[in-house]
Amino acid sequence: DSGVTQTPKHLITATGQRVTLRCSPRSGDLSVYWYQQSLDQGLQFLIQYYNGEERAKGNILERFSAQQFPDLHSELNLSSLELGDSALYFCASSSLAGASTDTQYFGPGTRLTVL
């Protein structure tokens, strides 16, 4: 158990809908990262937050957004969902200064299925 929690574990929804994925980092960690894992794209970095501020952006679609709250939990919002958004979404956290070179500890993931 990495100490990173993600909810829900599974999510099934329809095209065009909006969903919110939630992540709680390990105790004491200030950085939260979001990744998407799909069969065709592999593991892709989406976005990073450090102590409430956006730190880095990767291959995140405009339909997706994220935020990190004062209690350091983070939410990833996915809107206007398409079939291709079906994937496993991971959250990770790290304890150092928020650099991508820090060790990232991953949560169990949220499996999103868009029908």
Binding site for another protein (CB under 8 A): 2, 33, 42-43, 45, 48, 55-58, 88, 90, 92, 99-101, 103-109, 111
Closest to 89 (Cα-Cα) out of 11, 35, 20: 35
Sign of the C-alpha dihedral, residues 17, 107, 61, 43?
Answer: negative
Quick count: other Cβ atoms within 10 Å of Cβ 7? Answer: 13
- DSSP label of 72: S
Which of 14, 97 has the CB closer to another protein? 97
Which of 39, 70 has the CB closer to another protein? 39
Which of 43, 115 has the CB closer to another protein? 43
Minimum separation from the CB atom of position 87 to another protein (A)? 12
Distance CA 25, CA 2 (A): 9
Distance CA 93, CA 56 (A): 14
Which of 5, 17 has the CB closer to another protein? 5
Minimum separation from the CB atom of position 34 to another protein (A)? 11
Minimum separation from the CB atom of position 57 to another protein (A)? 7
Minimum separation from the CB atom of position 106 to another protein (A)? 4
One-letter identity of residue 25: P
